[in-house]
Amino acid sequence: MTSRDIIRRQTINKKIGEKMNKIINSHRMNIIRVTLFIALFFANSIYSQSDPYIRVNRLWGGVSSDGGNKGITYGSSNLNLFADYGAFGARFQGGESYFGGFVAIGTDNWNGKPAMFSPIAKDQQAGNIVTPIVNYTRYANPNYTVISQGKTTTPSKNDLGSVTVDPSKCIGTSDQTVVVTNGYVTPNLQVQRKVLAWTQQYHDNYSIIDLTFTNKSSKTLTGVYIFLHDGEYQFQRADGTNPSVAAVDQYSNNNAPRKWFHYYGAKKTDSLRVYYNYSSDDPEVAGDRMGQPLTQQYGRLLDYTYSFMATIHASEKPYTPTASYTTPIDPNDKDDMDQPKVTTVANMQNNLNLPLLGKTYDPVGSDGASYYNYISGLTLQSEDLTGADIRPGHHRKDIDDLGKNAPGGENGIGAQANTFESMMMSYGPYTFAPGQQIRIVKVTGIAGISREKAIEVGKKWYNDSKFGTNTLDDPMPNSPKGSFPTNFAFPTGTTTNDIKKDKWISTGIDSVLLS
């Protein structure tokens, strides 16, 4: 790393620290991007259910009251209308934890053997709701009409599920707050889930998931791990639907992009805990297609974003809750930068043969034992980073730092390394006594260069490639790999023009770390 990189990283870290402090501790009012918030209500209802739906920002999804996930379908009447805003929708048809769904807890000694408990499982097929879900927004749906070609219509209002407009109930500066408490009946644990979302343009690309676990049993659990995972296989992008992507510009293998994965947080000098992924080249097709430039739309980049999960608080150890306090964090609760202790990526179902979490999942049988080995870091420990500068635990080597031109075929990862791979963070091991609590605060989001910059870069790349001009500048001329890691390998057959395009995509990593 050059001195320039070090200074840039220090500056970024300082800004991130300031921003995180403001998000958690400040009660100041954000400047609201009213235009975006109102625009999001110009869509028809996606679904008519009582569970809340996060839809005030650019990352849409749902919060299931039973602790699991429910499938969501998007289409031309809702998500696709907001391509210009870079909106994404999480469809939630698996066990991903984007908005606090399927939060799992493992222990190394449940009646003498390891187990992992899920909010939806064989022992509680309908889930267990301790405190009913509530959904608050800062602003009400606006009343509006649309006049087009002399006709006046009144579109249906945005469906946020059952919602109460009450700014006083929105936590901190959030514009939407969802709260629910669920139970795990077998070990008698509870988790309070808080999901916060913002409309303000500098905070509308992520949500915060605040989880507080309480041991309500009379038993002390040992070797406790809390397991969260995010996978992009259930993401749906608004952009690229109208006009649709021409066949010549689609990825091979059913238009599924290959993915690079990187965790910033494994080194003792790292000041953040962020796991992100981004699309690689399509090696089955000649040429550099990183960023998915649409040659039939003048080269604009389509697939240039990063999806990420991050930790902003993780209890050092279980704590006895303080009866009353005014600070955002319980005085008895201390953050531990060494958490999460396990960070890895895998195709859990196809390559590790782990079952999907759901009604048939057996938490105390072979299912639970296999999952416990995974979430405790044993299953993929052969892929661990090693060295005196690495934090304790099991942290997988970064897939984009292996020196390969394209990902795929690594241990636990499919041959195509497509969107069925999931990033995971696991916190522990804890010794969890009766009455104690553990708190994990996670961020899930999307980031990258702006859509406007992606269009500009793609068009210049396209014209320079076609006409032999040199209009696309190098964003980081003194850094051969841009913001990619040291051993990053550009796609096979890249030109100087391709590398400049790819380095522009790499600058989106700073946006991830600044989110």
For the chain of 515 residues, list the mean pLDDT of each consecutive stretch of 10.
Answer: 44 43 40 34 42 92 92 80 87 83 97 97 97 95 77 73 94 97 97 97 95 98 98 83 92 89 98 97 93 97 97 99 94 98 97 95 97 98 98 99 96 89 97 99 97 98 98 98 98 96 98 92
Closest CA to 237 of 60, 438, 455: 60
Check residue 39 and give its pLDDT: 34
Tell me the CA distances in angstroms from 370 to 226, 229, 409, 410, one per residue in order: 15, 16, 21, 20
Give one DSSP letter per residue of 227-243, joined into a string. Answer: EEEEEGGGEEESTTBTT
- Provide the residue type at 60 as one letter: W
The answer to whether the beta carbons of residues 456 and 297 sit under 8 Å apart is no
In three-state secondary structure terms, 168 is: helix
Length of the chain: 515
Check residue 155 and give its pLDDT: 64
Residue showing tokens 């661990």: 384
Check residue 161 and give its pLDDT: 84
DSSP 8-class letter at 390: B
Q: Which residues pair with 105 in a beta bridge?
A: 117, 226
* Dihedral (Cα; 7, 9, 15, 16), 10-degree rounding: -160
Cβ-count burial of 37 within 10 angstroms (0-12 exposed, 13-18 middle, 19+ buried)? buried
Task: Count CA within 13 A, CB hemisphere, residue 91.
Answer: 13
Residue showing tokens 């040291």: 486
Entry pTM: 0.89
Closest CA to 180 of 313, 50, 66: 66
H/E element, 331:
none
The answer to whether the beta carbons of residues 427 and 314 sit under 8 Å apart is yes
The answer to whether the beta carbons of residues 489 and 417 sit under 8 Å apart is no
The answer to whether the beta carbons of residues 508 and 306 sit under 8 Å apart is yes
Check residue 264 and give its pLDDT: 99
The answer to whether the beta carbons of residues 95 and 229 sit under 8 Å apart is yes
Closest CA to 356 of 106, 188, 104, 185: 104
